[in-house]
Amino acid sequence: DTEVTQTPKHLVMGMTNKKSLKCEQHMGHRAMYWYKQKAKKPPELMFVYSYEKLSINESVPSRFSPECPNSSLLNLHLHALQPEDSALYLCASSLWGLLNEQFFGPGTRLTVL
Amino acid sequence: AQSVTQLDSHVSVSEGTPVLLRCNYSSSYSPSLFWYVQHPNKGLQLLLKYTSAATLVKGINGFEAEFKKSETSFHLTKPSAHMSDAAEYFCVVMNTGTASKLTFGTGTRLQVTL
C-alpha cells in the first residue's frame, strides 16, 4: 500500500460544529503532516508529528487540534472554525521526518459556513 | 534561509510541443529539490526529486529537471505536452540541515491546448 488516504473528501460545517478530519497511511512512515491550502496558493504547513509526538506547530490557532493515536493514523479535530478556515486540508507522510520525501493524500475540502 | 521562485504563474503550450516550467532557488545548505504536480481538487503527486546525486533527474510521465548550481535553477521540462499534463506545478526546496521544512514556490499553472 503506497498511498495516503483522507476522509471525508468534502466537509461542510457551521461555526459552532465540532468535526474531525482523518488521515491514514500503511507505508510504515513515522512522520505525518497537516497542511492547509487556500485556492491558488501553495500548501502551508500546520503540524508535524514524528514518532507519534507533535514536533512542529506552526502557530496554528487552538480551534485546530491534531491527534496522532498511532503510527498509521493522524486526526485533525475542528471546533469553532471561522469562514476563513475554508480550504483544502492535505495530509502527508514521510519515512522518518522532514529530511525524507513526503507523500500527500488527496485532501479534504472544508467549507465553513 | 531558503526560498524558491517560480518565474511564471501561468504557462500555455499546445499539445505535442515542449514544456518548460522555470524554478530558481536560494538555499544556505546543499538543498534537496522537488517538483510536485496537483490536478484540480486533488492532492500533490511527486514528479521528481534531486538529492545531490545526478544533476539530470528523470521523473514520472516523461518529465525531467536539471539541477544547475551555478544558476541556482531547477527547471522542469517535457519534450511533448499531453492534455493530461494540464495542472498546477510546485517547485519545492528543502535544506538538508536540521529541522528542515519544505518551502513551496507559488506554483505554475500549465495549460495545454489542442
Query: How would residue B42 be classed by pLDDT, with cut points 50, 70 and 90?
Result: confident
Bond before B79 cis per omega within 30 degrees: no
Distance CA B19, CA B3 (A): 23
What is the average pLDDT across B75-87?
97
Report chain B's mean pLDDT, rounded to a whole number: 91
Joined together, the cell numbers standing for residue B64 give 525531467
Distance CA A75, CA B44 (A): 19
**Interface mutation target, options B32, B44, B46, chain A, most CBs of A under 10 Å:** B44
C-alpha grid cell for residue A69? 493515536
Quote the pLDDT of residue A96: 82
Name chain A contacts of B49, Cβ cutoff 8 Å. Answer: 101
Is the Cβ pair A104, B105 closer than 8 Å?
Answer: no
Supply angle C-alpha A42, A4, A107, rounded to 5.
40
Nearest CA in chain B to A47: B101
Q: Answer yes or no: is pLDDT of A104 > 80.
A: yes
| pLDDT for the residue B40 | 87
* Ramachandran sector of residue A46 (left: φ over 0; alpha: ψ -120 to 50; beta: rest): alpha
Contact A106 B42 (CB under 8 A): yes
Which among A42, A105, A109 has CB closest to B41? A109
Q: At residue B112, does pLDDT exceed 60?
A: yes
Could you tell me the CA-to-CA distances from A46 to A57, A102, B28, B81 in Å, in that order? 6, 14, 23, 34
Residue A89 main-chain phi, psi, to 5 deg: -105, 120
pLDDT of residue A1: 60
Q: For A51-64, what is the mean pLDDT?
A: 91
- Taking alpha carbons only, the member of A75, A102, A93 closest to residue A8 is A75
Residues with Cβ within 8 Å of residue B22, at least 6 apart in sequence = B6, B7, B8, B73, B75, B108
Residues in B touching A40 (Cβ below 8 Å): 107
Instruction: Choose among B10, B87, B91: nearest CA to B48.
Output: B91
Question: For residue B102, what pLDDT band results from cuts at 50, 70 and 90?
Answer: confident
Using a CB-CB cut-off of 8 Å, the residues of chain A touching B34 are 101
**CA pair distance A93, A52, nearest whole angstrom:** 12
Q: Which of residues 51-70 of A touch B (CB under 8 A)?
A: 56
Is the C-alpha dihedral spanning B3, A36, B75, A98 positive or negative?
Answer: positive
- Interface touch B104/A42, C-beta < 8 Å: yes
Give the residue among A112, A101, A113, A82 at the shortest CA–CA distance from A33. Answer: A101
Residue of B nearest to A89 (CA): B43
The reported pLDDT for the residue numbered B78 is 98
Residue B74 pLDDT > 90, yes or no? Answer: yes
pLDDT tops 70 at residue B97: no
pLDDT digits (tens, 9 = 90+) for A62-90: 999 999 999 999 999 999 999 999 999 99
Contact A42 B34 (CB under 8 A): no
- Tell whether A90 is within 8 A of chain B (Cβ): yes
Residue of A nearest to B35 (CA): A101
